[in-house]
């Protein structure tokens, strides 16, 4: 991958920022190409492509940050942007000695994709969404609506700063999703499935979209025949894969250093303390091969890393971006991420997961006389300062006498993240990563992955509609 900006241009802009009084100057260059195909109600609704390219420049003096961005990559425009950023940072601040850092070599670029999606004809991508539509409808006449979407993104970045970092990365992500609607006596119910990896079009050599569509249809059909979820407090078993979103939202955000520094985290000041069951080890890993949140370097040019956040119940560390790590005179954990060159980086998760244990899922379920099995969690809300959360259950079943029983619908999981960590009494050996996700924070969205094995919580509140 060739540099998006020539080295002499990069050095000239960095020198100009330092000369203007900045203690730290950073250049972030981004070039993103996107293509997508959408189908709804048997019709191709959208076949789109776009490209966006630009530069974000950050200047730092003390704890003051100036930022400017431009889509004009000429030297004249970049010098104007760095002067704007530096002026915002310098204004009203007495320059102080910066924190030095040894230059970091650029890590290896993300692996080259096997099949470049940009080289695949649009007709092949249209064929995928049509095949998914047909497969979902073939499951049952009760399937009344199907939508499917294919999407690809190639994102090239280049990062350089006055501490000596010179890094670049080339990231390709490909995904596919399908949603089916079933109509029955209980009204309309929805089922969905999605796949996505940091790979090329070879994603579809590894996954069958017709099988994905059938699963989505079956989920919708199951919910049509399900009874309303109960209300009350009971044991809950969460199945492998999609349950990882609970840890991402209810615990992961509270382990981001910016929220910790603001006092907006239930885990602030607790490093070294036991905060979870001894069965709980939580990891954030930006190096996981092919996973949705994977990259070679973060959006501050630091190498992605595997960071153990909680180990056997003990809080080991938080996630750090470069700016906050710099202020604490410690290394970044490679978690500085931004939505685009128009945004400042902040601390963000990558692929966050609960490490597997040694019990089988059958053993875990057998330990529950009366409870709920959640096969798939949906979206939710969380208060990071308290850890209180509410999540929708998109596929769930009752557990009776140690066996999965009838399906339920229209239910929510209600609890508190730090308390849930303490109440996990079983962790399975069947770890899976969940579907690809987009994490929203302070108005920015970035691709993330999460995963869990089967796990059991001794007590959670079910918010259902059944009397």
CA dist., res. 91 & res. 425, Å (int): 54
Query: Residue 360: what pLDDT?
Result: 98
Nearest to 349 by CA among 238, 452, 251: 251
Torsion sign (Cα): 322, 268, 445, 199: positive
DSSP codes of every residue in 280-316:
--EEEETT-TT-TT--SB-TTSPBP-EEEEEETTEE-
Question: How many Cβ atoms from other residues are within 10 Å of residue 267's Cβ?
Answer: 24
69 pairs with which residues across the strands? 56
Question: Alpha helix locations (H) across 107-202?
Answer: 122-138
> Which residue bears the tokens 């190409």?
33
Question: Alpha helix locations (H) across 235-298?
Answer: 244-247, 257-261
CB 357 within 8 A of CB 427: yes
Query: Residue 101: what pLDDT?
Result: 38
Query: Residue 316: what pLDDT?
Result: 98
Query: Residue 387: what pLDDT?
Result: 86
DSSP codes of every residue in 46-110:
EEEEEEEEEEEEEEEETTEEEEEEES--SHHHHHHHHHHHHHHHHTT----PPPP----PPPPPP
DSSP codes of every residue in 371-425:
EEEEEEEEEEEE-TTT-EEEEEEEEEEEEETTEEEEEEESEEEEEEHHHHHHTEE
Over the chain (467 residues), the average pLDDT of each successive run of 10 is 86 97 97 98 95 97 94 97 95 43 49 90 98 98 98 97 96 98 91 97 98 97 93 97 88 94 92 97 97 97 97 98 92 97 98 98 98 92 86 95 95 93 97 95 96 97 81
Going by the DSSP 8-state scheme, the letter that residue 229 receives in this structure is P
CA dist., res. 454 & res. 363, Å (int): 10
Residue 121 token pair: 């004809």
Q: Which domains does the chain show, CATH number per domain?
A: 117-152+170-225 (3.30.2290.10), 232-463 (no CATH)
Q: Are strands 444-452 and 437-441 parallel, antiparallel or unpaired?
A: antiparallel
């Amino acid at each position: 991958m060739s540099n998006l900006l020539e080295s002499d241009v990069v050095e000239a802009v960095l020198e100009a920022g330092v000369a203007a009084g900045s203690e730290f100057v950073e250049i972030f260059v981004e070039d993103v190409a996107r293509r997508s195909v959408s189908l709804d109600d048997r019709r191709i609704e959208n076949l789109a492509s776009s490209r966006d390219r630009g530069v974000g420049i950050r200047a730092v003096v003390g704890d003051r940050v100036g930022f400017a961005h431009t889509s004009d990559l000429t030297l004249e425009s970049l010098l104007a942007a760095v002067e704007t950023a530096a002026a915002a940072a310098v204004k009203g601040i007495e320059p102080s000695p910066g924190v030095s850092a040894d230059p970091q070599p650029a890590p290896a670029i993300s692996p080259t994709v096997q099949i470049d999606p940009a080289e695949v004809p649009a007709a092949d991508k249209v064929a995928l969404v049509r095949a998914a539509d047909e497969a979902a409808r073939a499951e049952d006449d009760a399937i009344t609506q199907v939508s499917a979407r294919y999407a690809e993104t190639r994102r090239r970045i280049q990062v350089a700063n006055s501490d000596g970092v010179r890094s670049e990365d080339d990231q390709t992500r490909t995904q596919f999703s399908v949603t089916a609607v079933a109509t029955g006596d209980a009204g309309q119910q929805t089922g969905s499935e999605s796949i996505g990896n940091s790979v090329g079009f070879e994603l579809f050599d590894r996954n069958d979209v017709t099988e994905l569509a059938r699963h989505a249809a079956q989920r919708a059909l199951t919910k049509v025949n399900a009874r309303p979820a109960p209300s009350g407090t009971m044991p809950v078993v969460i199945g492998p894969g999609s349950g990882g979103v609970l840890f991402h939202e209810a615990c992961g955000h509270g382990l981001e250093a910016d929220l910790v520094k603001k006092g907006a985290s239930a885990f602030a000041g607790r490093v070294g303390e036991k905060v979870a069951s001894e069965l709980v080890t939580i990891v954030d890993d930006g190096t996981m091969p092919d996973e949705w949140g994977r990259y070679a370097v973060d959006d501050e040019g630091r190498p992605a890393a595997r960071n153990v956040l909680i180990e056997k119940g003990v809080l080991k560390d938080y996630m750090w971006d470069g700016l906050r790590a710099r202020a604490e005179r410690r290394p970044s954990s490679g978690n500085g991420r931004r939505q685009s060159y128009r945004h400042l980086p902040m601390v963000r998760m990558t692929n966050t997961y609960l490490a597997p244990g040694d019990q089988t899922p059958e053993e875990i379920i057998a330990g529950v006389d009366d409870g709920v099995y959640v096969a798939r969690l949906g979206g939710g809300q969380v208060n990071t300062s308290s850890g209180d959360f509410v999540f929708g259950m998109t596929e769930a079943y009752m557990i009776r006498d140690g066996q999965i029983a009838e399906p339920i619908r229209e239910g929510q999981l209600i609890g508190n993240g730090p308390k849930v960590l303490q109440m996990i009494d079983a962790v399975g050996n069947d770890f899976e990563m969940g579907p690809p996700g987009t994490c929203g924070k302070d108005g920015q969205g970035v691709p993330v992955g999460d995963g869990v094995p089967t796990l059991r919580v001794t007590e959670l509140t079910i918010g259902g509609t059944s009397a």
